């Protein structure tokens, strides 16, 4: 690959700035006018052009209106990636509602907490996805203001639903909507203002209870108009959306970005390498964003040569370390013309910095790019901006920043300072060009005998050991040192003697890093717990260690 990963010329910073949609409902209408004959949504036998998408979205909107969903009411989406998710979400927004996406991995109590906290009145969900009856998970849970449940797909035996809450099938909702005059939803759509709340996307809860980040229609559309411009998403692209719709990456950088560009949404509910490669070939997929593990899995699959993947041209990744070898292999072996990395968080509409198409592979691999146009990004420590190359907390100010956490003024004040800077909680360094490299989480840092230990730095060193495939380091309490490190390691190969391998890793560590960085102990595991965006749940690892459920190999040598 040549510089720029395929020689693509630098993009204009934001050529779509003149396209002001204002609201998501207006975006759907505009897409029908601008991209009418282009396929908008493909899922199994369902194939809708943009001209067909708009009336179908209105059909869902009329269904919500018939059910009594009012303007500003919260509608929760608890379902896998599918056509109905997209249509119901866009329909709810057209009816004037606010979206509250829910993680499909949630158990009943976790989902009920968000439903209750957000004041959700309507829950849109499924039965039977991966053998789970989602309404039944809420039986016996306090669901607050919830008054109705709509089941998009019913693939299993019906169990109980939330106590006292009626459960209706999607078909029933849509049939009721047939009796609603389209003028009603047209008026509702027109009444939605750009500054109105469009969605509450709750944080992953890796450090405590999830909190709902409030985003407006205008900031969402401006952010992902910029995002789609920078990555080079274009009309006619066919976008396999593997990233969950309940996450910003899947919903906003997926569905909404496609609507803005005139690309085709092809939902994929679960990542399976064989199925994904078959869909790439069958649907001539050109855009495939995802975490690094997605591409690594495709590269390692022995059946890859059996599939024609030549349609691929654009990959966007992040959320983890991206080796330069992976970036190069994505071009050389998977055929991507463009590979970009980015950094963002829920509280900043999912986007803060992005690499550009003109960046060489080393920049794409080693950094998450620089601030998108219109944002200010700094690295600070003790209230002051740190020099170039020095670690500090990444802070961001500008239009992507949430207005606050839903119903939580105290947490909002902790996250956004009086000058409008969002404190991300991420430790990073910035180079002279403004490119950001995230090195750690503020809350993951631990102090060993007075020295700050950064897990991401230690993990990067440990990955240099031939026996380490994946690793996560957490700080655990220690009576003498305050805290010490414990490394959870996924071995590259099965270990005949786990204790021997653990001791070997610890011994190697003593010769590879400063004493205070050397983990005190190692735990060998088959997998690391991660959330939907691929981030390791370190709180869970700390809890496991505290509970004493793991076999721990200890470094007896003192610091």
The encoded tokens of residue 134 equal 């989602």
Q: Specify the pLDDT at position 117.
A: 96
Q: What is the CATH superfamily name and number for domain 271-441? A: ANL, N-terminal domain (3.40.50.12780)
SS3 category, 89: helix
Q: Specify the pLDDT at position 206.
A: 46
Element (H, E) at 90: helix 83-94
**What sign has the CA pseudo-torsion 260, 261, 267, 273?**
negative
Closest of 99, 352, 109 to residue 213, by C-alpha: 99
Q: Specify the pLDDT at position 509.
A: 92
Q: Specify the pLDDT at position 91.
A: 98
Q: Specify the pLDDT at position 215.
A: 97
Q: Please state, in angstroms and rounded to a whole number, the distance separating the CA atoms of residues 404 and 407.
A: 8
Domain boundaries 446-554, corresponding CATH code: 3.30.300.30
Q: Please state, in angstroms and rounded to a whole number, the distance separating the CA atoms of residues 249 and 99.
A: 15
Q: Specify the pLDDT at position 15.
A: 45
**Taking a C-beta distance cutoff of 8 angstroms, is the pair 54, 186 a contact?**
no
Reported as a single tens digit per residue, the pLDDT across 264-289 is: 999 999 999 999 999 999 999 999 99
SS3 category, 396: strand
**Taking a C-beta distance cutoff of 8 angstroms, is the pair 204, 441 a contact?**
no
Q: Please state, in angstroms and rounded to a whole number, the distance separating the CA atoms of residues 267 and 451.
A: 47
Reported as a single tens digit per residue, the pLDDT across 498-531 is: 999 999 999 999 888 878 889 999 999 999 998 7
**Taking a C-beta distance cutoff of 8 angstroms, is the pair 199, 99 a contact?**
yes
Q: Specify the pLDDT at position 320.
A: 55
Residue 414 makes CB contacts below 8 A (sequence gap 6+) with 423
CATH 3.40.50.980 matches 24-216: yes
Mark residue 264 as left, alpha or beta (left: phi above 0; alpha: psi -120 to 50; beta: remaining): beta
SS3 category, 106: coil
SS3 category, 476: strand
Q: Specify the pLDDT at position 156.
A: 66
Q: How many CA atoms lie within 13 A of 406 on its CB side?
A: 27
**Taking a C-beta distance cutoff of 8 angstroms, is the pair 106, 129 a contact?**
no
SS3 category, 422: strand
Q: Specify the pLDDT at position 388.
A: 96
Q: Specify the pLDDT at position 203.
A: 85
User: Which stretches of the chain drop beneath a pLDDT of 70?
Assistant: 1-20, 156-157, 204-208, 319-321, 450, 452, 532-533, 555-559
Reported as a single tens digit per residue, the pLDDT across 297-322 is: 899 999 999 999 999 999 999 755 67
The domain ranges of the chain are 24-216, 271-441, 446-554
SS3 category, 363: helix
Equal CATH topology for 24-216 and 271-441: yes
Q: Please state, in angstroms and rounded to a whole number, the distance separating the CA atoms of residues 283 and 516.
A: 52
Closest of 124, 132, 119 to residue 174, by C-alpha: 124
Q: Specify the pLDDT at position 555.
A: 65
Residue 532 makes CB contacts below 8 A (sequence gap 6+) with 103, 104, 105, 204, 244, 246, 247
């Amino acid at each position: 690959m040549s510089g720029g990963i395929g020689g693509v010329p630098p993009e204009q910073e934001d050529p779509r700035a003149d396209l002001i949609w204002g609201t998501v409902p207006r975006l759907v209408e505009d897409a029908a006018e601008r991209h009418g004959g282009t396929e908008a949504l493909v899922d199994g036998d369902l194939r809708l052009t943009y001209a067909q998408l708009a009336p179908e979205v209105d059909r869902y909107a009329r269904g919500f209106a018939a059910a009594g969903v009012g303007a500003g009411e919260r509608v929760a989406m608890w379902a896998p990636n599918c056509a109905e998710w997209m249509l119901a979400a866009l329909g709810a927004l057209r009816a004037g509602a606010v979206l509250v996406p829910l993680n499909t991995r949630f158990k009943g109590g976790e989902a009920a907490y968000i439903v209750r906290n957000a004041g959700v009145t309507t829950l849109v969900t499924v039965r039977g996805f991966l053998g789970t009856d989602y309404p039944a998970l809420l039986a016996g849970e306090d669901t607050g203001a919830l008054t109705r449940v709509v089941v998009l797909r019913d693939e299993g035996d019906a169990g109980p639903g939330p106590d006292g809450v009626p459960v209706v099938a999607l078909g029933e909702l849509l049939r009721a909507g047939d009796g609603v005059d389209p003028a009603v939803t047209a008026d509702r759509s027109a009444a939605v203002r750009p500054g109105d709340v469009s969605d509450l996307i709750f944080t992953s809860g890796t450090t405590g209870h999830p909190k709902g980040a409030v985003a407006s229609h205008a900031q969402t559309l401006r952010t992902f108009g910029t995002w789609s411009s920078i990555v080079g998403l274009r009309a006619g692209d066919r976008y396999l959306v593997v990233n969950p719709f309940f996450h910003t990456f899947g919903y906003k950088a997926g569905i909404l970005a496609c609507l803005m560009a005139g690309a085709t949404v092809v939902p994929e509910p679960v990542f399976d390498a064989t199925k994904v490669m078959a869909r790439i070939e069958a649907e001539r997929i050109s855009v495939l964003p995802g975490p690094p593990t997605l591409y690594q899995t495709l590269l390692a699959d022995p059946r890859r040569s059996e599939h024609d993947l030549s349609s691929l041209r654009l990959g966007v990744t992040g959320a983890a370390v991206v080796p330069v070898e992976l970036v190069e292999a994505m071009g050389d072996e998977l055929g991507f013309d463009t590979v970009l990395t980015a950094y963002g968080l829920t509280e900043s509409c999912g986007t803060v910095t992005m690499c550009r198409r003109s960046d060489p592979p080393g920049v794409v691999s080693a950094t998450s790019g620089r601030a998108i146009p219109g944002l200010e990004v700094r690295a600070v420590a003790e209230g002051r901006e740190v020099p170039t190359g020095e670690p500090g907390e990444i802070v961001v100010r500008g239009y992507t920043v949430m207005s606050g956490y839903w119903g939580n003024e105290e947490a909002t004040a902790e996250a956004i300072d009086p000058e409008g800077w969002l404190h991300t909680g991420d430790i990073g360094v910035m180079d002279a060009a403004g490119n950001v490299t995230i090195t750690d989480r503020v809350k993951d840092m631990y102090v060993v005998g007075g020295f700050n230990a950064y897990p991401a730095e230690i993990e990067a060193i440990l990955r240099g050991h031939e026996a380490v495939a994946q690793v996560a380091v957490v700080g655990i309490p220690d009576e003498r040192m305050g805290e010490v490190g414990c490394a959870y390691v996924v071995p590259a190969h099965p270990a005949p003697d786990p204790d021997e391998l653990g001791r070997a890793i610890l011994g190697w560590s003593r010769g590879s890093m400063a004493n205070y960085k050397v983990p005190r102990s190692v735990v060998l595991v088959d997998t690391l717990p991660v959330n939907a965006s691929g981030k390791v749940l370190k709180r869970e690892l700390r809890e496991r260690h505290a509970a004493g459920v793991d076999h721990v190999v200890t470094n007896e040598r003192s610091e």
